Amino acid sequence: MLMFGLYSAGLCLVKGLNQTNMDNRFAFGLWIFLDLTVIALGAGAFFTGFLLYILKVKELGAVINSAVVIGLVCYSGAVAALLVDVGQPLRFWFTFWYPNVHSMLTEVTFCITCYLTVLLIEYVPIVLRNRRLRQVPSFLIFEFELHKLVYVLAGVGTFLSFFHQGSLGGLFGVLRGHPFAFREGLAVWPSTFFLFVLSAAAAGPSFILLTTWLVSKISNRQLVRPEVLPLLGRISGMLMIAYVLAKTVDTLIWINHTSPGAGVPAWQYYSWKPFGTWILFAEIVAFGLIPALVLLTPRLRLRSNWLVSAAALTCIGIALNRFVMTLQTLALPTLSFDPFLSYFPSWQETGTFLGVVGFGVLVYSFSFRYLNLFPQERDLEQPEAAPVREPALAGRY
Amino acid sequence: MFPWNYGFHWGAVSIVFLGAFYCVLTVISTTLILALRRTYRSAAQGRADRIRWRSEFQELAARDRLCRHMLSGEFPYRECRNAFDCRRCEAHARILEKRRPAAVAETEEEVFGMAFPLDRLYHRGHTSVLPQPDGTALVELDELGRRLIGVPDQIALPQPGTRLRANGTGWRIRKREADIRVLAPVDGEVVDVSPARGGCLLVRPAEAAFDHLLTKSEVRPWLLREMERLQLALTAQGAPTLADGGVPVDDILASYPSADWDAVCSRMFLQP
Amino acid sequence: MSARSYGMSIDIDKCTGCGACMVACAVENNVPPAPEGVNERKGITWIRVFRLDNGAEGVDRKWAFLPMLCQQCGENTPCVSVCPQQAVQLDPATGIVGQMPERCLGCRYCMAACPYHARYFNWWDPSWPAGMEKTLNPAVAPRMRGVVEKCNFCHGRWHAAKARAAAQGRRDLDPADYVPACVEACPTSAIRFGDLNDLENAPERGSFRLLEKLGTGPKIYYQTQRDWVREIAAAPGGTERAHG
């Protein structure tokens, strides 16, 4: 998968973006949608760090290492995909040298670069705890000292993540030219800014839950104590319900105020097949409210099937939200003589995406094999020992 | 990005944005530099061993970190909070005060056919300390440790004159795939070394009393627990063991050729 | 020189749909010919004539042609505020929204932001068949693959007009010297161009702009006597009745 992906990406880089099915109307395609989705799912890294190191939710220590690796994989994959996506990747430094501080994309670029750095720095201690590397005294001491300062990194990571998750939402919320996406908000930040932060914070723990469960199934080992996954589910559920509420309010304001103000009645967006109102309900209710309610029900949370399904639905809901904001926004016509256009990714685009996934799986498996991603695993190899007592004397001694 | 770039504007938004960016960069680099400086200083001060032990202790499973006083019955359940350095523990100090000197009837414990003479003090990393009349102490593996290792393939002993730290590195043993760092039980200076019996050091200790080591009545419960742990470790390796109290053979390792001896020994010698 | 606000006034009723403006624009601005595999959604047409019809059947069916180009938005210019590299600037001296291809990263955010879909991306390397390079205009730089481009009111001609004025010792350029290619080529003079600040160039009564409610302040004014055209053109959000 990785090789195919590299080949596809290479084609796009060498021959040009005509290898994709993006066009002048669909300026953003599969890659941008995927970038937004994986960054939202990778939000587990910052959120778990925030909860563990700043709010001191100790139980999450079981998954923090895995979360950091997932975050690293998601963000580095997103950055790699972006470099293939832009027309002139070698000019990426222009954004830093001539930044346009009014553009949401500048904010995204700066924040994501800084955050990737933070993630790399957080990954270093995990690597240095490898048994062999630990033999080198300077690595050992460096890891120890760095870990003492991890809360600083967690704080910086939270700050950065808040802004870039939000700005990714702001990217579309500021588009006056697309009343479907345009939202008003607070000062320069449209409501989508805050909605994206909230939804990313909700998706993060769910994704961690999913991956932990998946890895546990694949490796056939118990990796975390049984109460950790329901805890993640509960956190995700709480944030999800807050998000659904906020999103409903925002949608109502948009339908009744913002969109008509731009001259477009909201029903018109949903008159274009295949994007009927079902997509709105799917996003908010089927993949939003329902998993949130499941995750908030203690009885259901304890049943693994319900928990994992609800987490999966949450992640799908977030992906659907990103899809709606990118691809549906571009598909809908703005001018009266625009047709509704459709888009389907080319094999090169799909290949590049698969390459990113392959890369992610590779890095994660490597980390899982050689590094200690799940510290609670040690405690779980056999049943918890009862307090020791003199064993019944039954033998020859 | 910088004021001298073409297109730079001194607007409020620019200042806030770029200010925040530079702030973040500063914080990140300061953190890194601070960590590096502290690393350098710690390395120069020779604190590597202590740091290693603390970090490895954290990685032990909870059931391997039980307090010695829980083993000897003074607490129902307690995990060690001082990385087995009982010298720093208030609870240990209090218990020592209250402890009556036990009337010792036996001179040695026998557990599962292994002899543990009680004139020595024992460290949880399976070394024993025998104080000598001239003030030095003989440090070597205890009986269980010797049987675990059998005849080592390789021993790396420290040079005479090396400073030892309690819970730091004593010496290294290699056997099959196991690479063990035997933990030193006391602070002190190495006077003489010998590779006999799996490794043996003559140490001039830095302190007179060894309150932090296990003595007398504490030895038996600890050893019973260690045997349980050994059986758990072997079972985890898929090696069949009989829990009926048979005597461990001289070279336990040879009886289990398929077990991952590295994993078992790490467990027993308190390495993650 | 006082600040100008260049704009256009397009009479839809006069437009015959001949497409001379599109050709003239491509020739003037060194737009590369369409490569193999291009479809109408990937080609570069700084100005593009859309055909509208009134939806009736048979003899009642009527058509109109609407030339569409960059509206040079004067307020809340969507593409200017979103470009992360400041590669797009609204020039206060001319009111023209200029694009710097050398600085463009190709992120295409401006293309997503433009409600008029007036921006085009270089999906291919520009290449001209052998012999055709003789038709290249030396006054305009061709753009490389991977950057966005759009109508800039033939900015090269503005520079040429200014140079001519300077050579003649005048501060202001002569309006007759600065005429974009499409205006020059239109056989029915459907497109009129000028400084909107000048009284004579003020938009006629009854002219409208596209998507006015979005608040982008476009500087292209359209006129028509036909109500059905006005209805379609001014209606936002798209209908099935129009074809590009």
Rounded to whole angstroms, how far apart are CA atoms B259 and B175? 13
Is A296 exposed, middle or buried (CB count within 10 Å of its CB: 0-12, 13-18, 19+)?
A: middle
Half-sphere exposure of A116 (CA within 13 A, CB side): 14
Instruction: Report pLDDT for C186.
Output: 95
* B-interface mutation test, from A116, A141, A150, most B Cβ less than 10 A away: A141
Three-class SS state of B50: helix
The answer to whether the beta carbons of residues A266 and A295 sit under 8 Å apart is no
**Cβ-Cβ contacts under 8 Å for A206 (sequence gap 6 or more):** A232, A233, A236, A240, A291, A295, A310, A311, A312, A314, A315
* Cα A107-A108-A114 angle, rounded to 5 deg: 90
Classify burial at C172, counting beta carbons within 10 Å of its beta carbon; exposed 0-12, middle 13-18, buried 19 or more: exposed
Domain boundaries, chain C: 6-243
pLDDT, tens only, C69-93? 999 999 889 999 999 989 999 999 8
Q: What does the pLDDT look like over C10-29, one tens digit per residue?
A: 999 999 999 999 999 999 99
Confidence of residue B257 (pLDDT cuts 50, 70, 90): low
Written out in words, the top-level CATH class of the domain with range B48-268 is mainly beta
* pLDDT per residue as tens digits for the range B12-63: 888 888 888 999 999 999 999 998 888 888 877 777 777 888 878 877 777 7
Q: What is the pLDDT of residue C242?
A: 41
- The whole-number pLDDT of residue C182 equals 94
SS3 label, residue A21: coil
b/e C215-225 (16+ beta carbons within 10 angstroms → b): ebebbbbbbbe
Cα A76 to Cα A42: distance, rounded to the nearest angstrom: 10
Dump pLDDT digits (tens) for B115-126: 788 888 888 888
Cis peptide before A274 (omega within 30 of 0): yes
Domain spans in chain B, listed from the N-terminal domain onward: 14-44, 48-268
Q: What average pLDDT does range B60-72 have in this prediction?
A: 79
Give the number of C-alpha atoms closer than 13 A to the C-alpha of residue A71, restricted to the C-beta side. Answer: 32
Pull the structure tokens for residue A294: 């499941």
- How far CA C85 is from CA of A113, A353, B136, C89, C102, in Å, comes to 16, 26, 73, 10, 11
Distances (CA, A) of C149 to A14, A318, C50, C120, C193: 21, 34, 20, 5, 21
Interface of B with A in 40-59 (CB under 8 A): 42-43, 47-48, 51-52, 54-55, 59
CA dihedral A155, A156, A159, A163 (to 10 degrees): -150
Q: Assess C235–A contact: CB distance below 8 Å, yes or no.
A: yes
Q: In this structure, are strands C6-11 and C220-223 parallel, antiparallel, or unpaired?
A: parallel
Residue-wise pLDDT tens digits, A162-196: 999 999 999 998 888 888 888 888 888 888 999 99
Instruction: Retrieve residue A356's tokens.
Output: 């990113």
Confidence band, pLDDT 50/70/90 cuts, at residue C207: confident
Indicate whether this complex's ipTM tops 0.95: no
DSSP state letters, B8-23: ----HHHHHHHHHHHH
Residue B136 tokens, joined:
């030095």
Pairwise CB contact (< 8 Å): A109 & C111: no
CA A200 to chain centre: 6
Q: For the stretch C73-102, what's the b/e string if a residue is b when 16 or more beta carbons lie within 10 angstroms of its beta carbon?
A: bbeebbbbbbbbbbbbbbbeebbbbbbebe
Using CB atoms and an 8 Å cut-off, which of residues 194-253 of chain B contact chain A?
221, 224-225, 228, 232, 235-236, 244-247
Q: In the prediction, which pLDDT does C237 show?
A: 60
Compute the Cα dihedral for A115, A120, A124, A130 and give only its sign: positive
What one-character-per-residue DSSP string does C153-181 give? S-HHHHHHHHHHHHHTT-SSPPGGG---H
CATH fold of C6-243 reads Alpha-Beta Plaits (3.30.70)
Question: Of the segments A227-231, A365-369, B34-38, C150-154, which one has the largest average pLDDT value?
Answer: C150-154
Nearest residue of chain A to residue B234 (CA atoms): A382
Q: How far apart are CA B30 and CA B36, in angstroms?
A: 10
Burial annotation B119-153 (CB, 10 A radius, 16+ → b, else e) = ebbbbbbbbbbeeeeeebbbbbbbbbbbbbbbebe
Reported as a pLDDT band with limits 50, 70 and 90, residue A396 is very low
Q: Is the pLDDT of residue C1 over 80?
A: no
Contact call for A140 and B71, based on CB within 8 A: no
Q: What is the CA radius of gyration of chain A?
A: 23
| Chain B CA closest to residue A124 | B32
Give per-residue pLDDT as tens, A356-380: 888 888 888 888 888 878 887 777 7
pLDDT tens, B141-193? 888 888 777 778 888 888 888 888 888 888 888 877 777 888 888 888 888 88
Sign of CA dihedral A229, A233, A236, A238: negative
Nearest residue to B181 (alpha-carbon basis) of B42, B51, B52: B52
Please report residues of A whose CB lies closer than 8 A to that of C82. Answer: 103-105, 174-175
Question: Which chain A residue lies closest to B51 (C-alpha atoms)?
Answer: A141
In terms of average pLDDT, the best of A80-89, B178-187, C154-163 is C154-163
Average pLDDT over residues A85-94: 86
- From the list C148, C153, C151, C156, the residue with the least C-alpha distance to C83 is C148
CA A123, CA A118: separation in Å to the nearest integer? 9
As a whole number of angstroms, the distance between CA A199 and CA A236 comes to: 9
Q: Mean pLDDT lowest for which of A285-299, B223-237, C201-215?
A: B223-237
Name subunits touching C (3+ CB pairs < 8 A): A
- In chain A, the N- to C-terminal Cα span, in Å, equals 60
Burial of residue A66, with CB atoms counted within 10 A of its CB: 0-12 exposed, 13-18 middle, 19 or more buried: buried
What are φ and ψ of residue C149, in 5° steps? -140, 165
d(CA A257, CA A183) in angstroms, rounded, equals 10
Question: Does the distance separating the beta carbons of A337 and C106 come in below 8 Å?
Answer: no
Between the alpha carbon of residue A24 and those of residues A20, A36, B124, C145, C215, the distances in Å are 12, 20, 71, 14, 23
Output the CA–CA distances (angstroms, integers) from residue A33 to A12, A39, B1, B208, in the order listed: 18, 10, 29, 69
